[in-house]
Amino acid sequence: MKLIKKMVIALFLLWCWSVISINNSSADVDHFPVYPCIESNVKFWVKVYTEEPSNRGIIHDSNDLDIIYEVIDVKKQEEPGAEDFNKKRIRAVKEKYEKMLESFACGRSPTTDAEKRVYGLFGRNPERSVLREARNNIRFQRGQKDRFLPGLIRSGAYLEEMKKILRDYGLPTDLAYLPHVESSFNYEAYSKFGAAGVWQFTRETGKRFLTVDYTLDERRDPISSTHAAARFLKENYETLGSWPLALTAYNHGTAGMVRAKKAKGCYESIFKEYDGQRFKFASRNFYSEFLAARKVAKNYQSYFGQVQLDSPKQTCEYKVPGYAPIHNLAKHVGVDLATIRELNPTLRPPVYTGQKYVPKGYSLRLPGRKDGKAAKQFASIIREDLFVSGQKPSRFYRVRRGDTASEIARLQGVSLKDLIFANQLDKWASIYEGQNLRIPLPGEGTITLAKASKKSSLDGVQVAAAKQSAVDLREAPVVAKGVSKAVKSEETQSVESTERETGALELPAKELPASGEISRELPALEVAALETSEVEPPSSIEPAKDQETKEMIVLKPAEQEFSEPEPALIEQEDTFQTSVAMEMPVIMETEINPAVVTGHLQVEKLIKAKGKTLGVIRVEAEETLGHYAEWLGVSAQEIRRLNGLSFRKGIQIDQSLKVPLEKIGAVEFEEKRYEYHKEVEEDFYAAYRVQGVQLYEIRKGDNIWKLCSMEFDTPFWLVKKYNPSINFNGLMPDQKIRIPVVEAPSES
């Protein structure tokens, strides 16, 4: 009897221990320590989030965040001319303190009150070496109070459900505050380098856990992406063994943090001592930013007073049994498109414009409770004849010299009016060699998201296209020696044309004008091997964060390790020289149409080898062997074997590759390839605008990857689009290239 009692007591104690353990797994205080070495950093980020708005910024020391030189006024990023104004303003202030510190380092004593204040920031009698080093560590940080507060309000709609999801995965629920750092809880957030949604997943990482294609992007859905974030964070924690390291890996990359841990051990040692090539300000501060955001969000009334947070929306889900037009579904369920779009951020703009159907099996969110009654009610009123068995294809035509828009429309069986609308052509129906025009499908509607939403990604694309394509190209000025902006020559203008149904004066397709000097034909440099776990892929997040005038919440991608290699870029010798981008002239760009994808996206020829059909393609920007494998339904290794590529040998821009076309044909492969590039460009132009172009002269040691990611904070595909004749495998000193000046539009 005593033995039974002991067993019962033991089982009870075991049960109590398990309950305590489960509860402790969600008790965040033990998982997220505030180490003494980062206390000043956390304090700094609290100041950034709660005291300074985005039209003010902090000039500070990048190593010691207790050292704040000055808080200055700047223009908000969305204000016209903000980038140029802010660069000059920030540079002038930084130079003031650089000169002051240099004079101290040379032995001069402070004399004015301002000098004494700065000198005193370093304690009594600081060593000259400390002052000289500080001269090189002056950094600007934009305030984020007016961005954090709206994010705080938005978080109310999702926070509790996010915590429940994290709890279900056995994770600390306070991880739900991480989107404050990543996106300010804006599900429309999109970085220049392709990170999307509240958790800022890149496309490559997102596809590991979510559906990301031309029709659906689950990264945009706060709830679906939280499941993905939970899985990803759990992987990081299981690999690294602590939450400070796991969270830093969310920014810096898992493989990078494995190396850091191997080199230095614990988080504190990594923070204080690790000097990895990519472990810069962004990665070093990421955990501190999270701690600060968590502190502010959990105690928001202390910082912002009484704030009414958004309430969760009551929704039900209706699983669509077939492919269907979204406007037909909306009409039959009696819900307006604006509401459907708000509840279904997963559906991409082509669904709302009629280019694509709502895909079969998609769980459409509609107003109503989750008890199932509302969903059944919606299902009962939707007719079966609304659905079709297949998705609409994406058709495109690559423009050749001499083509006209009306001739293309006639050959493709569409009206000129629809072709112009689908591609946002200007009033002359101007087209250029190398453009991939989208061919609208018969009966495709012209529904715009302006009716469905005041702010939509499609609107951004259309507005950007309209602004840039409506400029009179024939009056474009010559902006630099050897770089003519006169897109249409007198010869072209004199071509006899006829007025079409749209009133457009058509001109035959011409080759895009040269961008700077003619590309020199030199042997192409090899791409750095980025496809093994031993080589960490380049990250765009740290440059984006270290960029002095860039936002650190919405406009950055998550700095993560990818399961597939980074897009094909040219990696040259690591002798990058910093340029003075702000002094380059800004010129207006006219011939680039944001609504039209350029590049060689077709299979250039078909060949037979050992009884198998192969296609020959040309590598384009942002493409990887992983992309080809995905589109073709084969392994990347099969493509490697077919082309004699070793595992450590990457691909490069304009390289010819053979691809197997046994599982899918050339047309289907081309469609998937086109949709990928179209998706990337549509998302970008929906979030950013190109206000002009800078002429940059190549210097010795420059390479295009470092210029894009570290100097200009601009994706390579966009630079390539503005320089169609440049051979990026053989850039030469003194060669001129055009760099688009990118700005984020104003947020509503």
407, 485: one domain = yes
Rounded Cα gap, residues 67 and 387, in angstroms:
63
CA atoms of 395 and 357, how far apart (whole Å): 15
Residues 405 and 453 occupy one common structural domain: yes
Which residues are CB-neighbours of 668 under 8 A, at least 6 positions away? none
Instruction: Report the 10 Å Cβ neighbour count for 425.
Output: 24
Cα separation of 512 and 433, whole Å? Answer: 7
Say yes or no: 21 and 59 in one domain: no
Measured distance CA(703)–CA(315) in Å, rounded: 50
Note the pLDDT of residue 470. 34
Count CA within 13 A, CB hemisphere, residue 380. 6
**Coil, strand or helix at 151:** helix
pLDDT digits (tens, 9 = 90+) for 215-235: 999 999 999 999 999 999 999
CA distance 383 to 473: 49
Whether residue 557 has pLDDT greater than 80: no
Q: Which two tokens stand for residue 724?
A: 């169609």
DSSP 584-651: SPEE---S--TTSEES--S--EEEEETTEEEEEEE--TT--HHHHHHHHTS-HHHHHHHHT--TT---
DSSP 404-469: -HHHHHHHHT--HHHHHHHHT--TT---BTTEEEEEPPTT-----HHHH-SS-HHHHHHHHHHHHH
Q: Is 738 helix (H, G, I), strand (E, B) or coil?
A: strand
What pLDDT score was predicted for residue 325? 95
β-pairing, 689-697 vs 656-660, is unpaired
3-state secondary structure of 347: strand
Give the chain's domain count: 3
Token pair of 240, please? 């690294």
Nearest to 249 by CA among 286, 280, 275, 276: 286
pLDDT band at 443 (very low <50, low <70, confident <90, very high): low
Percent of the chain with pLDDT over 90: 66
Q: Is the pLDDT of residue 1 over 70?
A: no
The answer to whether position 11 is within a domain reads: yes
Point out the catalytic residue in the list 182, 571, 623, 670: 182
Query: Could you tell me the CA-to-CA distances from 618 to 12, 20, 690, 729 in Å, in that order?
Result: 67, 59, 27, 14
Please tell me the predicted confidence (pLDDT) of residue 376: 76
Element (H, E) at 149: helix 145-155
The mean predicted confidence, pLDDT, of the chain is: 81
Residue 489 and residue 402 share a domain: yes
CB 505 within 8 Å of CB 429? yes
Q: Taking the CA of residue 265 as centre, how many other CA atoms within 13 Å lie in the half-sphere pointing to its CB?
A: 5
Residue 402: closest CA among 271, 509, 272, 504: 509
The tens digit of pLDDT for each residue in 93-113 reads: 999 999 999 999 999 999 999
32-41, 239-248, 308-317, 540-549: least confident range:
540-549
457-466, 469-478, 622-631: the lowest-pLDDT one: 469-478
- pLDDT tens for 474-494 read 222 222 322 222 223 323 333
pTM over 0.95: no
In a domain, 536, yes or no: no
Measured CA to CA, the distance from residue 464 to residue 448 in angstroms comes to: 15
Q: Is residue 173 part of a domain?
A: no
Angle at CA of residue 719, ends 658 and 531, nearest 5°: 45
Q: What mean pLDDT comes out for the span 346-352?
A: 96
What does the alpha-carbon distance between residue 622 and residue 597 come to, in Å, rounded to a whole number?
Answer: 13
**Quick one: 404 and 478 in the same domain?**
yes
Task: Determine, yes or no, domain membership for 122.
Answer: yes
Q: pLDDT band for position 23 (50/70/90)? A: very low
Residue 233 vs residue 646, higher pLDDT: 233
Q: Which residue has the higher pLDDT, 743 or 430?
A: 430
Of 452, 477, 493, which residue constitutes the final position of a domain? 493
Q: Is the pLDDT of residue 502 over 80?
A: no
Mean pLDDT of 731-739: 94
Mean of pLDDT values over 722-734: 92
The Cα 349–Cα 355 span in angstroms is: 9
Residue 592: predicted pLDDT: 87
Question: 9 and 84 share a domain?
Answer: no
Confidence tier at 287 by pLDDT (50, 70, 90): very high
For the chain, count helices (H), then strands (E): 31, 14
Helix (H, G, I), strand (E, B) or coil at 550: coil
Are 72 and 13 part of one and the same domain? no
Q: 401 and 472 share a domain?
A: yes
Cβ atoms of residues 216 and 189 within 8 Å: no
Is residue 473 one of the residues assigned to a domain?
yes
Average pLDDT, stretch 564-585?
A: 35
Say if residue 98 is in the same domain as residue 135.
yes
Mean pLDDT, range 498-520, rounded to an integer = 49
E strand map for 281-331: 315-319
Cα angle for residues 139, 140, 144 (degrees, 5° grid): 140
Q: What is the pLDDT of residue 321?
A: 93
With 0-12 CB in 10 A as exposed, 13-18 as middle and 19+ as buried, what is 574?
Answer: exposed
Does a structural domain hold residue 15? yes
- The pLDDT tens digits for 322-333 are 999 999 999 988
Q: Answer yes or no: is pLDDT of 177 > 80.
A: yes
| 449/273 Cα distance (integer angstroms) | 51
Domain check: are 12 and 59 in the same one? no
Residue with tokens 């040309």: 618
Domain check: are 400 and 482 in the same one?
yes
Q: Is 182 a catalytic residue?
A: yes
Predicted confidence at residue 583, as pLDDT, reads: 39
Q: How many CB atoms lie within 10 A of CB 691?
A: 18
Share of the chain above pLDDT 70, in %: 76
Instruction: Tell me if 535 is assigned to some domain.
Output: no
The whole domain housing 71 covers: 55-142
Domain boundary among 473, 493, 513: 493
CA 174 to CA 291: how far, in whole Å?
Answer: 10
Cβ atoms within 10 Å of 65's Cβ, excluding its own: 24
Angle at 630 between CA 625 and CA 636, to 5 degrees: 40
Range in 505-514, 677-686, 714-723 with the lowest mean pLDDT: 505-514
589, 693 contact by CB (below 8 A): yes
Confidence of residue 377 (pLDDT cuts 50, 70, 90): confident
How many angstroms separate the CA atoms of 61 and 139, rounded?
A: 6
Structure tokens at 64: 């010691």
Polymer length in residues for the chain: 748
From 433, 459, 493, give the residue that closes a domain: 493
Q: Is the same domain home to 420 and 489?
A: yes
* Mean pLDDT of the 189-197 span: 94
Q: Which residues are bridge partners to 59 per DSSP?
A: 70, 140
216 to each of 230, 345, 361, 601, how far by Cα in Å? 20, 9, 12, 22
Domain annotation covers residue 409: yes
